[in-house]
């Protein structure tokens, strides 16, 4: 998604940061790209973890490759992406917040120091209030 960020920066001008909407689009795109790759892996991992392993019971899957093969044979490609809608939303939301935080730290370090100083003063004031100092 760095290419998308670079395109937005070129269109905004050299001294302008990204708008909230642009941050959202970049973060959501990164989250969706990640989810498309990691979603099937997580789905197969979950199936392997919840299969019954009680004494005498046969396991449904005999490893990762067997699980992928059986899910694909029974349900097709959509079976590997089952439950992906919620995962896409979760990853996109998380990626948006992460990208905004990283850009804040990289683009506005002075602002970050100011925010940190104010937070430290509030925490110190709270401790003084609680300790009666």
pLDDT digits (tens, 9 = 90+) for 51-97: 876 666 788 899 999 999 999 999 999 899 888 888 777 776 777 77
**Does residue 133 belong to any structural domain of this protein?**
no
Instruction: Give the pLDDT of residue 64.
Output: 92
Report how far apart, in Å, the C-alpha atoms of 84 and of each of 37, 40, 77, 101, 119 are: 11, 8, 12, 26, 38
pLDDT grade, residue 20 (50/70/90)?
confident
Q: Which domain holds residue 83?
A: 2-106
**Does residue 46 belong to any structural domain of this protein?**
yes
**Does residue 114 belong to any structural domain of this protein?**
no
Query: Mean pLDDT across the chain, nearest whole number?
Result: 80
Q: What crossing angle do the helices spanning 20-50 and 84-107 adopt, rounded to 10°?
A: 130
Instruction: Give the pLDDT of residue 109.
Output: 64
Instruction: Give the pLDDT of residue 44.
Output: 93
**Does residue 124 belong to any structural domain of this protein?**
no
**Does residue 40 belong to any structural domain of this protein?**
yes
Q: Specify the number of domains making up the chain.
A: 1
**Does residue 36 carry a pLDDT above 80?**
yes
Torsion-angle region of 30 (φ positive above 0: left; ψ -120 to 50: alpha; else: beta): alpha
Task: Give the 3-state secondary structure of residue 109.
Answer: helix
Mean pLDDT within 4-24: 80
């Amino acid at each position: 998604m760095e290419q998308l960020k670079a395109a937005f920066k070129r269109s905004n001008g050299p001294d302008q940061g990204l708008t909230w909407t642009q941050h959202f689009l970049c973060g959501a795109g990164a989250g969706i790209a990640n989810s498309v790759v990691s979603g099937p892996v997580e789905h197969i991992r979950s199936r392997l973890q919840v299969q019954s392993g009680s004494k005498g019971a046969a396991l449904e899957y005999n490893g990762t490759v067997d699980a992928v093969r059986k899910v694909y044979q029974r349900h097709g490609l959509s079976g590997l992406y089952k439950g992906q809608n919620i995962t896409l939303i979760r990853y996109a939301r998380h990626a948006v917040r992460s990208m905004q935080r990283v850009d804040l730290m990289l683009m506005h370090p002075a602002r970050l120091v100011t925010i940190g100083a104010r937070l430290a003063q509030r925490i110190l004031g709270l401790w003084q209030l609680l300790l009666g100092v």
